[in-house]
Amino acid sequence: MLKCTEDESAMVYVLGHKVAHFSVQVETHVWWHGGWQLQLHKINALQPAQLTVGGHSLPVGDEIYSTNPVSF
């Protein structure tokens, strides 16, 4: 973990395949505010690679964000 604060988290990790000697270094930053989240992924691939991001939203348990706009 590079950084962890009240509204931000940053980390560096490696994705790849040990046997195929293929790896991609990823630096990820995540910021959140209320019900909003921003993710930034910096990729360092030494070989051609195709990475996809997928997932789903998780409920926060407090549904006020779905009815009230978030102000910054």
pLDDT in tens, 46-58: 888 888 877 766 6
Radius of gyration of the chain (CA): 16
Structural domain boundaries of the chain? 3-52
pLDDT digits (tens, 9 = 90+) for 9-58: 999 999 988 888 889 999 999 999 888 899 999 999 988 888 887 776 66
What is the model's pTM? 0.65
Classified as helix, coil or strand, 67 is: helix
Q: State whether the Cα torsion 17-23-29-35 is positive or negative.
A: negative
